[in-house]
């Protein structure tokens, strides 16, 4: 899947790039956001919503994470960007 990544795990803004990363795995009773080049897939227990992304944002938390000043909770993704806007294009179970 494609995502905003950080070269060397942290550093200046020049370390940001859009690249390929492994697909996350789903755990029981967990909400998972999976990014693809055109579609973002939100997978809820027993429900999948496909969203065509129009825009996403990076905010202060992402900047602090990039600079190595924001410790992530255990098990949290290192992929930047948790906000997006788009259109639901399909719903499945």
In the chain, where the domains are located: 2-92
Choose among 33, 80, 83: nearest CA to 54: 83
The rounded distance, in Å, linking the Cα atoms of 8 and 29 is 32
Tell me the HSE value of 33 on the side-chain side, using a 13 A CA sphere.
17
Q: 53 with 38: CB under 8 angstroms?
A: yes
pLDDT tens digits for 5-60? Answer: 888 888 888 888 888 887 655 555 555 555 554 455 555 656 667 777 788 888 88
Q: 26 with 60: CB under 8 angstroms?
A: no
Does the model's pTM come out above 0.85? no
Q: Which residues are 82's β-sheet partners? A: none
């Amino acid at each position: 899947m494609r995502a905003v990544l950080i070269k060397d795990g942290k550093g200046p803004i020049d370390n940001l790039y859009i690249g390929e990363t492994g697909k996350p795995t789903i755990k029981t009773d967990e909400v998972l956001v999976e990014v693809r080049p055109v579609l973002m897939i939100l997978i809820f227990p027993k429900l999948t919503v496909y969203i065509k992304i129009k825009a996403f944002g990076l905010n202060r938390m992402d900047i602090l994470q990039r600079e190595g000043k924001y410790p992530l909770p255990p098990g949290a993704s290192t992929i930047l960007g948790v906000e997006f806007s788009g259109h639901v294009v399909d719903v499945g179970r």
